[in-house]
A = this chain, B = another copy of it.
């Protein structure tokens, strides 16, 4: 069979798609899956509700130009095509086998296809890892067979995939005629969501991939293929887990090199939150925060709803250029309308800068005299009778040095009658005229989700002007244009040699007391409170005198992590008599509260009262490795409840960004007359902590420094309290990122 047919059919310039793609490393393996020249349908039948029947009808109705081989043990023909009893009966190995039979028989069929020399399969059948233990074993069998024959496999438990530009609809669900072709690829773990997203008509697709359980070929594999695919420019992802973060990160590098965007909806974020690690640090920032950090780091645009996914993708697909400046201008013919859009734009974080006096003067000259031009700009109803005023206003806004993007707010609801809609056409024309030479992009927004009347939207669509609908979602989509590109790869700090003493200490697996945790921190250059262990009241008095009054006194026990909760802490112990009493009181309190706890004695600790209290913690964020959490500390942890998370490794810039991204930063800047705090010392501490994790991460689950007091600039920091939890086992703290069906 020859491959010329479909390429002519889709009316594209003759890109030699298969040949060019096969030349790119890592892509060749997916070509038979995503662009098969021949397809064997295993279990083919004409029964209307059978998945194989959908696949065959879809292939034929949508004009697949390759060869279709129905495989059925007894049938002579299926839908008029000659059937063979097994794939081995075919003269040539087909590029792709679509397996549509019950789960228990799938492995044998895949094995047979592999043996024949077929390099790709789609397993539509369910009854694998999404179901039960037996299903998980079956899935593992598929993985092994695929590895043995070097096959790409989509599924199991999926709807299949569509190479839309090639009219190749390998799909076990109905796929309507007339879904636009375009440069967007959709990859969804959920089949139902894939169906909904592909049926809207507002996005043109290159590929639609229902990846299902992704047992063999996974999302990063598809992404690497699409990064090199000349037909694809934007990818929309619907994710329910991230199983191979390194592979996804590598695939994103390919996407960015190719200047392509990825927009992701992570489904199940709140349940993930609930399943989050119960360690201290984790409790302060659910694991979805780690997913967000991962997205941010790798330049994946993160959206919160399906509508937002759709509109953001549509915008990225249509908009020819990324805005060069953040400043948004808002223009409309209704004062109420532009005010409403400004409200929502501010709420999503967009910047609406004031206009330059020169811009204002230009606008004044064309608008009614009682209007004071500003941003947002109310043109009044003038453009209804004179569309050129609208174009001129757009020109003036676009040339204002603060403006990088214009939002034209215009409702023209589909419910209007034709005559009513015609009144809006001068405005559409004004926008079209502007768009032809626009120095900055213009996006047309309707406040209602119904969008625009086709009479209004058609000329805009033809001029390539993006149109969004529903104020809240539209403005979020616009804000996503400013999603930063991925940060440069971070280099780990590796100056310190591994310390044999601490290595040994970790290896013995015993819990760390606060004092011991601080000794470790101090060994790596982090300042902690001066403190010593007293094993008698008299010794405590001696130590306190040496440290200087007032002191803090804390019980020391390997069995107690939360000392305050058992009456094991006294602050501001002011003199020798008080220290003596305090020693006895602490021992008594804790003996009563936890009679079984082993007590080492009482730590006498320097009391540091100045400075801003910060929280810094590291803990595991499966599957991403360690993350670091930073925020206001001490009493503020629970009050402010606001932390920022980033994943290790960090470099000085990313550690600084992390500190600056929470309200802690405001405290550090000094206000109400207090001096600015030593932010750079805090950043340095975070980097040192990251070094410790790099050295001893295998033995660790959590380190929590809370509070760290950040002293005035130039005076450094001091760790007042520290908790270090050794690894219970490598999986105890892991979030269970189980796949859903």
Contacts and interface: CB of A to CB of B under 8 A. Distances in A.
A219 to B, nearest CB: 14
A727 interface: no
Nearest to A201: B415
A192 B333 contact: yes
Nearest to A634: B672
A339 B267 contact: yes
Contacts of A741: 335, 378, 380
A308 B343 contact: no
Contact of A337 (B190, B334, B638, B640): B190
A455 interface: no
Nearest to A197: B448
A201 B197 CA distance: 24
Contact of A304 (B176, B195, B344, B567): B344
A342 B565 CA distance: 35
Contact of A413 (B200, B567, B639): B200
A174 interface: yes
Interface in A667-682: 667, 671-673
A449 interface: yes
Nearest to A193: B336
A238 interface: yes
Contacts of A569: 673
A513 to B, nearest CB: 19
Residue with the greatest number of chain B CB neighbours at <10 A, chosen from A268, A307, A414: A307
Nearest to A563: B673
Contacts of A343: 267-271, 304
What's the number of copies of this chain in the assembled complex? 2
Interface string A342-374: 111011000000000000000000000010000
A595 B573 CA distance: 43
Nearest to A632: B639
Interface in A414-457: 414-417, 419-420, 423, 446-450
A306 interface: yes
A520 interface: no
Nearest to A176: B417
Contacts of A446: 196
Contact of A565 (B135, B196, B663, B673): B673
A490 interface: no
A137 interface: no
A199 B415 CA distance: 5
Among A135, A192, A269, A641, residue most surrounded by chain B Cβ atoms (within 10 Å): A192
Interface in A540-586: 564-565, 567, 569
B196 A335 contact: no
Contacts of A342: 268, 270-271
A463 interface: no
A617 B342 CA distance: 29
A411 interface: yes
A507 B336 CA distance: 42
A179 interface: yes
A340 interface: yes
Most buried by B among A189, A332, A672: A672
Contact of A339 (B271, B423, B450): B271
Nearest to A642: B640
Contacts of A335: 190, 240, 740-741
A411 B565 contact: no
A177 interface: yes
Contact of A416 (B174, B270, B370): B174
A649 interface: no
A447 B307 contact: yes
A32 interface: no
Interface stretch (A252-260, A467-475, A697-705): A467-475
A135 to B, nearest CB: 8
A669 B569 CA distance: 20
Contacts of A448: 196-197, 200, 306-307, 310
A636 interface: yes
Interface in A358-414: 370, 378, 380, 411, 413-414
Contacts of A411: 192-193, 195-196
A673 B564 CA distance: 6
Nearest to A384: B49
A43 interface: no
Contacts of A639: 632, 636, 640, 663, 666-667
Contacts of A271: 339, 342-343
A731 interface: no
A600 interface: no
Contacts of A179: 415
A131 interface: yes
A446 B199 CA distance: 13
A715 interface: no
A265 B449 contact: no
A430 B336 CA distance: 43
Contact of A450 (B200, B346, B672): B200
A569 B673 CA distance: 10
A347 B269 CA distance: 10
A305 interface: yes
A635 interface: yes
Contacts of A240: 335-336, 339
A495 interface: no
Nearest to A385: B49
A114 interface: no
Given A306-B448, A420-B176, A196 B413 contact: yes
A132 interface: yes
A191 interface: yes
Contacts of A420: 173-174, 176
A739 to B, nearest CB: 9
Contacts of A635: 667, 672
Interface string A619-659: 00000000000001001101111000000000000000000
B267 A305 contact: no
A672 B336 contact: no
A240 B179 CA distance: 42
The list of the 9 closest CB pairs from A to B, nearest first, reads A190-B336, A192-B334, A449-B449, A199-B415, A196-B411, A564-B673, A174-B420, A199-B413, A335-B740
Given A193-B411, A638-B672, 14 more contacts: A191-B334, A193-B337, A193-B447, A196-B411, A201-B415, A240-B336, A267-B336, A304-B343, A305-B471, A307-B447, A307-B472, A470-B470, A470-B473, A639-B640
10 contacts: A176-B420, A196-B447, A201-B415, A240-B336, A270-B346, A304-B472, A305-B472, A449-B470, A635-B667, A638-B672
